[in-house]
């Protein structure tokens, strides 16, 4: 077998340079000196006998060969991490790690409770939570950077044949209003009443916004007719704006448990309409599934779904 023209350390350094955007920032992130980083890259280029960085650019810009090495190097490093987790599993949850992914709403409001319960049972396991868009989290699972994830959006088409997608639970979407709003005094409002409200929404490029609009349209509610008072970039900001009387909004029920308990916002029910989306669990079926990930799935995920109706528990 031929000698490899690179080391794992060199691949880590290459990945850090591109992630951080410069040799200096990469050196800081790896707790080494910048000259040491530069020397490693020089040695790597000598070993490969090909340049991997564009010398004419002030930024850390890769050549075609550099991009190729980064792509394969990322897969090599991910497999090394997977190997380490598999070896740690031999200790039977007396150590090791669990990396969980989630889309924005699920990661903010549901996952911390699940992880907290898991940590109470298995305090020796190091748990990491990555919260990104459904698209980014799906790719992280596909690349082996995340053990499993719970998402509320659509898996990218190019990954649907690669990932195992399992329906997890229904997440109801609630129409929330200020306590002082006229509609908070009635049992139900009509669909037509929605067009009289002023809405606070996430920006139009948000995955959650697109999911909500799609589901509303499936229920005969034309979200393009809504009067959008303002667009904000987080669910927390939207809840605070509603609480302050600035408008109405559609949010996940899992995001408003505290506010409902305190009675500071009103959940307005729409007559003959219940708006839900399906949350899914995604894994890579051909990658190693750690004992920690298997235990989290069997012992924890099932506790936050109501028996018989497959809805998320919010209390």
- 31-62 pLDDT, tens digit each: 999 999 999 999 999 999 999 998 776 778 89
Domain with CATH 1.10.10.10 in the chain: 8-80
The arithmetic mean of pLDDT across residues 227-248, rounded, is: 94
Question: What pLDDT is recorded for position 312?
Answer: 53
Residue 94's closest CA among 252, 291, 251? 291
Question: What pLDDT is recorded for position 90?
Answer: 63
pLDDT, averaged across the chain: 88
170-277 in CATH: which number? 3.40.190.290
Quick check: 190 pLDDT over 90?
A: yes
The arithmetic mean of pLDDT across residues 225-249, rounded, is: 94
Question: What pLDDT is recorded for position 81?
Answer: 83
Q: What is the pTM of this model?
A: 0.68
Confidence of residue 124 (pLDDT cuts 50, 70, 90): confident
Cβ(216)–Cβ(275) below 8 Å: yes
User: How far from 307 is each of 111, 275, 289, CA to CA, in Å?
Assistant: 19, 20, 26
Cβ(101)–Cβ(111) below 8 Å: no
The arithmetic mean of pLDDT across residues 14-41, rounded, is: 90
Question: What pLDDT is recorded for position 1?
Answer: 53
Q: Give, as one character, the DSSP assignment of residue 110.
A: T
87-166+284-304 homologous superfamily: Periplasmic binding protein-like II (3.40.190.10)
Quick check: 180 pLDDT over 60?
A: yes
Question: What pLDDT is recorded for position 198?
Answer: 95
Question: Rounded to whole angstroms, how far apart are CA atoms 101 and 81?
Answer: 16
Question: What pLDDT is recorded for position 92?
Answer: 62
Percent of the chain clearing pLDDT 90 (strictly above): 54
Tens of pLDDT along 275-303? 888 899 999 998 888 888 889 999 898 87
Question: What pLDDT is recorded for position 79?
Answer: 86
Question: What pLDDT is recorded for position 165?
Answer: 95
Domain with CATH 3.40.190.290 in the chain: 170-277
Domain with CATH 3.40.190.10 in the chain: 87-166+284-304
Question: What pLDDT is recorded for position 314?
Answer: 46
Q: Give, as one character, the DSSP assignment of residue 296.
A: I
The arithmetic mean of pLDDT across residues 116-144, rounded, is: 92
Percent of the chain that is helix, strand, coil (3-state, to 5): 50, 20, 30
Quick check: 166 pLDDT over 70?
A: yes
Quick check: 5 pLDDT over 70?
A: yes
Question: Rounded to whole angstroms, how far apart are CA atoms 40 and 27?
Answer: 11
Percent of the chain clearing pLDDT 70 (strictly above): 93
Tens of pLDDT along 65-97? 999 999 999 889 888 887 887 777 666 666 678
Quick check: 270 pLDDT over 60?
A: yes
Q: Which fold has domain 8-80?
A: Arc Repressor Mutant, subunit A (1.10.10)
């Amino acid at each position: 077998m031929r000698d490899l023209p690179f080391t794992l350390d060199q691949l880590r350094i290459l990945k850090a340079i591109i992630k951080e955007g410069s040799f200096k920032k990469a050196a800081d992130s790896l707790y080494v000196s910048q000259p040491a980083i530069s020397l490693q890259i020089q040695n790597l280029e000598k070993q490969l006998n090909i340049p991997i960085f564009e010398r004419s650019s002030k930024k850390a810009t890769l050549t075609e060969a550099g991009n190729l090495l980064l792509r394969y190097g990322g897969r090599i490093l991910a497999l090394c991490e997977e190997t380490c987790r598999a070896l740690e599993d031999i200790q039977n949850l007396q150590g090791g790690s669990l990396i969980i992914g989630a889309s924005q709403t699920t990661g903010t409001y549901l996952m911390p409770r699940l992880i907290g319960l898991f940590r109470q049972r298995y305090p020796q396991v190091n748990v990491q939570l990555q919260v990104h868009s459904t698209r980014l989290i799906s790719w992280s699972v596909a690349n082996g950077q995340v053990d499993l994830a719970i998402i509320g959006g659509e898996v990218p088409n190019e990954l649907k044949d690669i990932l195992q997608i399992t329906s997890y639970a229904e997440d109801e979407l609630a129409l929330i209003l200020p306590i002082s709003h006229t509609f908070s005094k009635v049992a139900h409002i009509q669909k037509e009443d929605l067009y009289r409200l002023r809405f606070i929404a996430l920006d139009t490029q948000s995955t959650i916004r697109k999911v909500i609009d799609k589901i509303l349209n499936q229920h005969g509610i034309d979200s393009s007719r809504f009067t959008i008072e303002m667009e904000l970039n987080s669910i927390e900001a939207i809840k605070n704006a509603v609480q302050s009387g600035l408008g109405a909004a559609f949010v996940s029920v899992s995001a408003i448990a505290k506010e409902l308990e305190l009675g500071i916002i009103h959940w307005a029910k729409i007559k003959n309409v219940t708006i839900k989306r399906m949350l899914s669990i995604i894994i890579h079926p051909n990658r190693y599934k750690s004992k920690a990930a298997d235990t989290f799935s069997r012992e924890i995920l099932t506790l936050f779904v109501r028996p018989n109706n497959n809805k998320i528990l919010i209390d």
